[in-house]
Structure 1
Amino acid sequence: SLGLERERELARQLLKDGKKEKAMLLLKKKRYQEQLLDKTDNQISNLERMVQDIEFTQIEMKVIEGLKIGNECLNKMHQVMSIEEVERIIGETQDAVEYQRQIDEILAGSLTEEDEDAILEELNTITQEQLELPDVPSEPLPEEPPGMLSALCALQLWLHIHLLCSVQCFETSYLL
């Protein structure tokens, strides 16, 4: 690059100075270095390609190993649960569902119209019981129940005394 360009300029100068042999030798050296650089670039490219191939092969090997382990797991599971076993379980489940459906039909069919009426009557009774609430008093509430003022005053006095005692007890224990 810069070194090679500089050698080319030097070769021109040598030609101007009449040193053709030295100029030719310098150009041969320049040409050899260019070929060496090209060869080195090709080798580096080959190495990079080889590294990429190795990395990809490692990834492929991991994928294949994963597939192998997965296949072994599936085979073990298939040994534990065969197709016949799955079909048997599905058949038993369908039989149980059918049996329960038959029981439901029998229970639903055993209720007579009289039973249906009794059920509706019981439901209405329960609903009415929930709706029957006590009557609300019609006279207005007094402004203040009798004796309430004195009870409130007594409560306030008790709280005040209690708080004072608590503060004094705290101060006394703090000073000790």
Structure 2
Amino acid sequence: QLKQQRDKLRQYQKRVAQQLERERALARQLLRDGRKERAKLLLRKKRYQEQLLDRTENQISSLEAMVQSIEFTQIEMKVMEGLQLGNECVNKMHQVMSIEEVERILDETQEAVEYQRQIDELLAGSFTQEDEDAILEELSAITQEHIELPEVPAEPLPEKIPGISMPDPFKLLEFTGGETPSPSHVGRPSGLPGHGRALGTWLCGSGRACPASG
């Protein structure tokens, strides 16, 4: 409303300024015609209008200052509302994010059931349908991850695989004449000097000789 009043005063100011120029021209015409008193009256009227014009200008300046002040106050109010809303959000998060309280959901006691009811009431009306769909989608994704992941064995894995004997590094040194074979030689009998076939037979496992590879 203040802005509308300011704009109306601006329009009035323009009309008065145009009228004053017109009245000044009429006053000159009256003086040329010898009608001094009529010209004087017209100039008095013009003066009055000029005073009104000055008052209008002052009022416009005052209104503009008020508008700016109100807009700044509204900005301050919005900032304060934002801070207050942020504090409320923090308080609500404290209500639902305490790890001790959240762990109560895992319990089956009456106290835990009451806590779940309080959380339901706290979150009631907080979500849109889109939020609810996103929650269900995330729940479905977590469920799918649980299905696809292999179960962790309850018992430790055996140190030895049945039917396969693991090489003894000391015996390996005996076959290689005291030299430590490089990783590229293991499993490749032809790459070992001198004792390649014997080492290949030993690595076959279970004491059985491997078929000759040619």
Shared fold (TM-score greater than 0.5)? no
Higher helix proportion: 1
Query: TM-score, length-normalised on structure 1?
Result: 0.42
Whose Rg is larger?
Answer: 1
Report the TM-score, using the length of structure 2 for normalisation.
0.36
Q: Which has the higher contact order (CA 8 A, sep 6+)?
A: 2
